[in-house]
Chains A and B, each alone.
Chain A
Amino acid sequence: DIVMTQSPDSLAVSLGERATINCKSSQSVLHSSDNKNYLAWYQQKAGQPPKLLIYWASARESGVPDRFSGSGSGTDFTLTISSLQAEDVAVYYCQQYYTIPPYTFGQGTKLEIK
């Protein structure tokens, strides 16, 4: 199984500042056949189901604010929130869909306001 490891486990950032969350996979999730990274990012607010933010490592889901961006390739990925808003307080998860079964998630990163 591909193990996804996020860092840090928790993060406190001031409003308007940049937040950066990292995700590392135990093996590459870059498919040579299509040159795509099979990596997604989700946001989960308290009491709600997860919300898809980013897929193919850097493609923003429709309706997601452009302050959210994804980058990286192979085994190392980053979710960046360029200017933190109060409504961004949540737990963020990365997920690989390179191999099936199973699809695997990172352990989550809790983002709070400093």
Chain B
Amino acid sequence: EAQLVESGGGLVQPGGSLRLSCAASGFSFSSYWMSWVRQSPGKGLEWVANINQEQSERYYVDSVKGRFTISRDNAKNSLYLQMNSLRAEDTAVYYCARGGNSWAFWGQGTLVTVSS
């Protein structure tokens, strides 16, 4: 059975860094685009970034450009999101999702809280 499990969330001070991970299993990870989508507490959904199979294409929402980096390790079936210069408005549940443009498969999410 296909599964996505996020980890790495937690409490971080403004200006700090955090690295999220997403472990994939049960499907051919290297065959899919992968994405991060976030949801602020009590708010709607926001696509954050995506990456193609070979890491040759990466796209970001404007609000995270220059601060976040999406990457993957196909040998480890893992997706990552390096988040630097974190701001209070980055507080959200971060979901790992399979696919590049619409997402039929999601992880359960990991909560990132940016607060002093």
Instruction: Report A's interface with B, CB cutoff 8 A.
Output: 38, 40, 42, 44, 48-52, 55, 61, 93, 95, 97, 100-108
Contacts and interface: CB of A to CB of B under 8 A. Distances in A.
Interface string B80-110: 0000000000000001000001111011110
A108 B101 CA distance: 18
A49 B108 CA distance: 6
A49 B109 CA distance: 7
A32 B103 CA distance: 23
Interface in B37-70: 37, 44-47, 50, 59-62
Given A105-B46, A105-B47, A95 B95 contact: no
B44 A52 contact: no
A52 B104 contact: yes
A13 to B, nearest CB: 21
A100 B59 CA distance: 8
A52 B47 contact: no
Nearest to A95: B102
Nearest to B45: A105
Given A44-B45, A101-B60, 8 more contacts: A50-B106, A55-B104, A93-B44, A97-B101, A101-B61, A102-B59, A105-B46, A106-B44
Contacts of A103: 47, 101
